[in-house]
Structure formats: C-alpha cells, structure tokens
Amino acid sequence: MSSLEIVSTSNAPAAIGPYQQAIKANGFVFVSGCIPLDPASMEIVAGGIDEQTTQVFKNLRAVVEASGSSMDKVVKTTVFLKSMNDFAAMNQIYSKSFGDHKPARSAVEVSRLPKDVLVEVECIALAS
C-alpha cells in the first residue's frame, strides 16, 4: 500500500469535522463531500439550489486541483440532495462543471445534510 497524502487548500472551506479535504492514495484522490460554504467567510452562500451547487463545484474543483489532478480526471461522483426536486437544476450546473467529461455518478436524496444545505458532492479522481 502506498503512503497516504493529505490534500489541503485555502481555496476551499476548511474541514468542519474530523476529516481532510482530500486524501491521495494508490493513484487516486478521494475528495470529501463539499458543501456550499464560502471559503473566506465559512458561511453558506446565499440563494437556492443554483447558487449552492455553483459554490459546491467551485470548492470541489479547488480541492481536486490542489491535489494536482483536474476535473477531467474525476472518475466517480456522489451527489447528495435534500430534495430530488432540485435534481434538474443541480444537473445543469453539474454538466457545465464537467463539460464533455462524464464521470460515473450516483445521486441520492437524503433527509438532512450538514448545516442544512441543499446539496453536497464528493468525488474520486485519478491522481496526476
């Protein structure tokens, strides 16, 4: 087994619990769930699903890039939604965030997310 490398960046919110923003191991980057916190204020961005999803992908991209990888090397995502009614709006921003690249994905509705946000996304990417 290879050594574990902690990934951390100030361009994404600091972890709000006992976890890392991401871990590199065995040629992969495992990115923790990103919620729509503004990294400067550590406050939830104002607005609804569009604004929250946009911030989530800014945070996700910042962590992926801090690992030395890129969004086109993401192989799997998991999307957690407070309401599946927000799926179409989230999906439009998701699609723009990846462009032509289409990683494997799961999307599930959950009863509650940290800080009562509307969306959280985690991913696994190939390490560069």
Local structure of residue 9 (DSSP, 8 states) = -
* pLDDT recorded at residue 1: 52
Domain 5-126 homologous superfamily, CATH? RutC-like (3.30.1330.40)
The structure's pTM equals: 0.96
Question: Per residue of the chain (128 residues), what is the pLDDT tens digit?
Answer: 568 999 999 999 999 899 999 999 999 999 999 999 999 999 999 999 999 999 999 999 999 999 999 999 999 999 999 999 999 999 999 999 999 999 999 999 999 999 999 999 999 999 98
Local structure of residue 1 (DSSP, 8 states) = -
Q: Where are the domains of the chain?
A: 5-126
How many angstroms separate the Cα of 87 from the Cα of each of 1, 16, 81?
38, 26, 8
d(Cα 23, Cα 28) in Å, to the nearest integer? Answer: 8
d(Cα 125, Cα 76) in Å, to the nearest integer? Answer: 7
The DSSP result for 36-99, as a single string, is: SB-TTT-SBPSSSHHHHHHHHHHHHHHHHHHTT--GGGEEEEEEEES-GGGHHHHHHHHHHHHT
Question: Could you tell me the end-to-end alpha-carbon distance of the chain, in angstroms, rounded to an integer?
Answer: 18
